[in-house]
Structure 1
Amino acid sequence: MPDLLPLTCVIVDDNEMSRLALEHFVALTPGLELAATLPDGLTALQFLQTHPPIDLLLLDIEMPNLTGLELIRILSQPLPAIVLVTSHHNFAAEAFELPVADYLVKPVDYARFLQAVKQVRALRPRPAPALPLRMENSNVFARVNGKLVRINFDDVYYIEAMSTYSVLVTATHKHIVHVTLKNLEERLPFSHFVRVHRSYIVNTRRIDAIDDHQLTLGPYTVPVGKLHKAELMRRLAPL
């Protein structure tokens, strides 16, 4: 599988043979880590409420005292990815109303199990790529040309998008870092940096003048997009 980020999983089934079969499949599958194998819904409820969150719940539907569907309704949000395991081809209508990633029909074969895991991975939010920047107050250590360079963000006039890179522009340098402008915007902890154009973020403390379509920042001019101007003016209002 291309994405092998580890998934912690719990098996819940009142049938011992079904549990053993699923345990075997988990052991065969790269990237799956078995956190527990539990014999009924009540035991599963207690486990899930008292242990760290898991990524995948392999859950039987028909169990005494607390069914799989009832367990899903009781569990606190956010739910793990859930794959229901059942002996019946015709699921109850209520099962289709629940947030379930896939359904496996017993006896489960390994190929079908892998398909379910693939479906879970496809639905799983992917972590944002690591940012090649390390923040320390107003200083940033940016990886530029293979080495870490200290950049004081107070000196940055604006940041410009350049394909999958961003250019941090100061009075004397243009530092190119391998991170998209969107990711940079999401990660910057500085409230005085504002998106003013699809390709530009500016340091509002460096703005010298504003006209209808552009900003003056020291020796530089930067365009202002129509969709961003209202937010820029709102952010500048207290100044």
Structure 2
Amino acid sequence: MEQPVKILIVEDEMVIAANISLQLTNLGYEVTGIIPRGEEALLHVKQNQPNIVLMDIQLKGRLDGVETVKMMQQDFDIPIIYLTANADDDNFNRAKATHPYAFISKPFKKLDLKRAIELTINQFKAKENNGDPSQDIPISPFILSDCIFVRHHEKMVKVDIKDILYIEAERNYCRIHSKDKEYLLVMTLKDMDEKLPNKHFIRVHRSFIINLSQIDEVATSHIVIAKKAIPLSKTLKEELLNRLQTI
């Protein structure tokens, strides 16, 4: 029988930590501890070796979350998911330099937590199976209400939803076309369609999902976004026009 994934919660707001612990237990994970300080977390990791650490960035005490993770990573290669109520650029960039598997902004929904953990497990299992952690393994994205975190060159990269132009199917892959970059994900367009917030996105063809706010032109059989003509399926055109009328 497979052992449950062991997760350490490092969070100094005890009400939040207890709530997270309850959610994780209900999802079938084993919580190895709830710890409010970075120094104690370092000791706990040595003794219990959890599979994942949920780390609040703004810890009180001598070490904040990012400093704690840096020290942890000197001895252990444990996937980190950051929790933060204040994702300003400075903190985000400091945290990003430690190569976390995901970020969760507080207050967060249960689904955000569930997906972040699933994404992380997916990634470290892919690393184990591949046997080469330096290999760039495209993994399912982690989707929040205003952004998507995607795996790109061994890092989690934040892509703002407002910057996504359209998403294109390539067999079992999806290619996100944003304003300045492209990201290839191991995920079908159908799965992507189910996960994306539908107030921003709509599927217009079996091979394309578009960002409604990026449409420049709607023609009889295609849509234009950033000078790209995207085919428009007859069966999906009516829904698109209805959606555009309600915006």
**TM bucket, shorter chain:** 0.3 to 0.5
Under a length normalisation based on structure 2, what TM-score does the superposition of the two structures give?
Answer: 0.43
Q: Between Structure 1 and Structure 2, whose CA radius of gyration is higher?
A: 1
